Amino acid sequence: MAKRTIKKILVPMDGSKGSFRALDESIYLAREVGAQITGLYVLHVAYDNPDLISVPETQNRLKKVEKFLENAENQVLKNKIIFKKETLFGHESKKIIDFAQKEKFDLIVIGSRGLSPIKRMILGSVANSVVNKSKIPVLVVK
């Protein structure tokens, strides 16, 4: 088997406890293997309509996103790991998978459940979709 290295870790985040647990796990892994981390937030915008980005509600959500991505960045930088922030617009799982492939990530670390109102689901719909459709290895953190 060919030796595989992990240099780039993608952590999709939505501000939930689950996404911060995934970030904690990625920090541990990044320290062990010398990888960098990218925190990705995908703001769900119907039909990828760019006009909806300037709507006040979207702008308010973006301010909250920036705040928790800053918290994530501080957590990662404390551990002396390179951190990048990225915000995309559209369908969450599709954007996560496409971004991970395009940017050639070695691993996706995702929380098992995010902010979905359906708490009784064992694996969140976004995490489930990423696990099933990604060609890149996915680590699901509970």
Domain harbouring 44, CATH code: 3.40.50.620
Residue 29, domain member (yes or no): yes
In a domain, 103, yes or no: yes
Asked if 141 and 21 count as a contact pair (C-beta separation under 8 A), the reply is yes
Provide the domain limits for residue 128: 8-141
Dihedral over Cα of 19, 120, 98, 90: its sign = negative
Q: What is the pLDDT along the chain (142 residues), one digit of tens a residue?
A: 567 799 999 999 998 899 999 999 999 999 999 999 999 999 877 655 666 666 787 788 889 999 999 999 999 999 999 999 999 988 899 999 999 999 999 999 999 876 555 444 445 689 999 999 999 999 999 8
The answer to whether residues 79 and 119 touch, using CB atoms and an 8 Å cutoff, is no
Structure tokens at 7: 């240099």
In a domain, 3, yes or no: no
What is the pTM for the complete model shown? 0.89
Residue 25 lies in a domain: yes
Tell me which residue has tokens 């800053």.
Answer: 70
Q: For residues 70 and 52, what is the distance between their CA atoms, to the nearest angstrom?
A: 24
